[in-house]
Structure 1
Amino acid sequence: MTWTLPEPMLSTPGLTPDLQPGWAAEPKWDGFRALVSVDGGGVVLRSRRGTEMLQAFPEIGAGAAQLPDATALDGELVVWDAAGRLAFE
């Protein structure tokens, strides 16, 4: 099966914290927006602009390699420091 990564979902601000039935929300973590796909045993990890990120996040590639073929995930990658705070460096 040959396919391409879908377009990333971008966040949109809400006016109130109330959600309509069937909707979900998550906090804005301010990390790296990323798309990961697994197909034919290969793993691709890209930024929302298409930059390859697997070298910078090898642990994501190792975890994603355990997912079934034809899997695509869209999410935010964050790094925590030893004190439990977000690390941006």
Structure 2
Amino acid sequence: MTWSLPEPMLTVAVDSPALPAGWAGEAKWDGYRAQLAMHASGRVLLRSRHGTDMTASFPEIRAAALTQLPADTGLDGVM
């Protein structure tokens, strides 16, 4: 079995900032959009929206994932 992350969900332009009921939004003012995966084997992968492996650039995030996330966790967000 191959271990991989899904493709990132990219933003799209809209005519109105109003959100449907039950939805939430988050502005990205600064920082990086990234996906983090914590594999059952203990491997942590942090990648950019373009697929670049950024794990080595953020050792503190890798260390936090190893100590605080359960196996087979995937996160997508701005850091």
TM range (shorter): 0.7 to 0.9
Deviations 1:13-36 (A, max 9, x none): 332232111321111223211111
Q: Which has the higher helix share?
A: 2
Match of 1:41 in 2: 42
Count of matched residue positions in the alignment of Structure 1 and Structure 2: 77
Q: What RMSD over aligned residues (CA atoms) do the two structures have, in Å?
A: 1.7
The separation in 2 between residues aligned to 1:64 and 1:24, in whole angstroms, is 25
The runs of at least 4 aligned residues of structure 1 exceeding 4 Å deviation read none
Alignment partner, residue 85 of structure 1: none
Q: In the alignment, does 2:42 pair up with 1:60?
A: no
Q: When the two structures are superposed, what TM-score results if normalisation uses the length of structure 1?
A: 0.74
Unpaired runs of 5+ residues, structure 1, are: 78-89
Structure 2: gaps spanning 5 or more residues: none
Aligned-pair distance for 1:2? 5.1
